[in-house]
Amino acid sequence: MADTHTPDGDRDREAEAGADVRVGVRTRSLSPPRLRYIRQLGATDVFVDHADVDEEPDEFNDREASVTLEVGRDAIPSVAELVEAREHVEAAGLTLTGIQSLPYSLYGDVMFDREGKEDVIEQIATLIRNLGEAGIPILGYQWNPRGVVPMRTTPVEIRGGATGTAFDYDELEAPDELAPGIDREYTEEEFWENYQYFLEQVLPVAEEAGVDLALHPVDPPVLESMCGIPRLCRSVENFEKAMELVPSDNHGLKLCLGCFSQMGEDVEEVLRTFGARDEIVFIHFRDVEGEVPRFHETFVDEGNFDTPDVVRTLHEIGYEGAVIPDHVPLMEGDDDWRHRGRGFTVGYLRGVIDTVRSERR
């Protein structure tokens, strides 16, 4: 997988320890106040969220000075726009490591084999080429129609009255009915065929451009199909199949620890499995309590797995890349971006990483 750049002071500390586990942040706003806050937390890598849909709210700290990257159907940033965004992030002492995820508007027609799929494939290919030319090495994506099937149900109260997102299958109103906009039930075989077509079209472009594509698990990883839509990326075995369909050194996982924790998997073994295959591009570091069909997200120092042991495993497998907080709790006084919940998570992860690094010295 492609390596990325780290600010000099942090890189020196990593080199002394013989490891390169860094803490990054996902954000839609690239406003100067937002970037200053991220750097003040000690994070190094920025993954930008696309700005064409409201999949997750994001309150800009300074709307007048906000900078975003619009990525969506018929909205592909040019090389010049990407370079400007990268240099803007670098001026704040950070690295623009990648785009967090493709919006559903850019891959939905390919997923369902609809008219227009060739057009969006070309748009995705253009995005990949532009990222490579602009020196931005990672493009995250998922094979799941976000916003079409329910991801979460009623939130729950967690430590100290903070709020965590949750999923309870029994709360779904009509899980057997077709999702909005879907005219029939699709088979898993169809979805694998459509996914293979997608990979055959975009991976050669990624290889030429020097960009790594990173696949996220389906969330929640429950059932083989829901609302008429197959949920391919729901297990370790299916991820292995996804990586083997069209083998490429530029294809790997946006390895969401929370999703594999939801599956009931031993996340350390998952890391060893895909670390040995050199298929971990970057990591969503979050955890839950419970497993499918019922779980809720919680603070990173609680949950199903032990965070220090997971970081030790990252060192053990020689992981070189970013871990980023994802779906952080809503804490007292938080904004829509959950700056306090995100700040706590970044600080906790940096402390654990430094502790494990000291142990290994």
pLDDT tens digits for 283-303? Answer: 999 999 999 999 999 999 999
What residue numbers bound the domain in which 77 lies? Answer: 8-360
**CA-wise closest residue to 349 among 313, 333, 325, 314:** 325
**pLDDT confidence bin for 130, thresholds 50/70/90:** very high
What integer is the mean pLDDT of 320-341? 96
Let me know if residue 3 belongs to a domain: no
Let me know if residue 1 belongs to a domain: no
pLDDT exceeds cutoff 90 at 2: no
Residues of the chain with pLDDT > 70, as a percent, come to: 91
**pLDDT confidence bin for 1, thresholds 50/70/90:** low
Question: Has this prediction a pTM greater than 0.85?
Answer: yes
**Residue 136 is encoded by which pair of tokens?**
């931005």
pLDDT exceeds cutoff 70 at 39: yes
Let me know if residue 312 belongs to a domain: yes
- CA dist 321 and 301 (Å) reads 21
Q: Which residue has the higher pLDDT, 267 or 64?
A: 267
Q: Which residue has the higher pLDDT, 12 or 59?
A: 59
Residue 267: φ, ψ to 5°? -65, -30
pLDDT exceeds cutoff 60 at 178: yes
Let me know if residue 156 belongs to a domain: yes
Let me know if residue 279 belongs to a domain: yes
Let me know if residue 297 belongs to a domain: yes
**pLDDT confidence bin for 17, thresholds 50/70/90:** very low
pLDDT exceeds cutoff 50 at 214: yes
**Residue 23 is encoded by which pair of tokens?**
């803490």
What CATH number has the domain bearing residue 208? 3.20.20.150
**pLDDT confidence bin for 276, thresholds 50/70/90:** very high
What integer is the mean pLDDT of 301-306? 97
Q: Which residue has the higher pLDDT, 222 or 96?
A: 96
Range 73-81 contact pairs with CB under 8 angstroms and sequence separation of 24 or more:
73/103, 73/105, 73/106, 73/120, 73/123, 74/123, 76/123, 76/126, 76/127, 76/130, 77/127, 77/130, 78/130, 79/130, 79/133, 79/134
pLDDT exceeds cutoff 50 at 81: yes
Let me know if residue 301 belongs to a domain: yes
> Comparing 14-18, 167-171, 279-283, 287-291, which segment has the lowest mean pLDDT?
14-18
pLDDT exceeds cutoff 70 at 13: no
**pLDDT confidence bin for 175, thresholds 50/70/90:** confident
**CA-wise closest residue to 284 among 326, 328, 239, 234:** 326
Q: Which residue has the higher pLDDT, 245 or 60?
A: 245
Let me know if residue 233 belongs to a domain: yes
- CA dist 217 and 233 (Å) reads 5
pLDDT, residue 65, reads 46
What integer is the mean pLDDT of 240-258? 98
- The total number of structural domains in the chain stands at 1
**Residue 28 is encoded by which pair of tokens?**
């839609």
What integer is the mean pLDDT of 249-260? 98
pLDDT, residue 147, reads 74
**CA-wise closest residue to 327 among 12, 36, 49:** 49
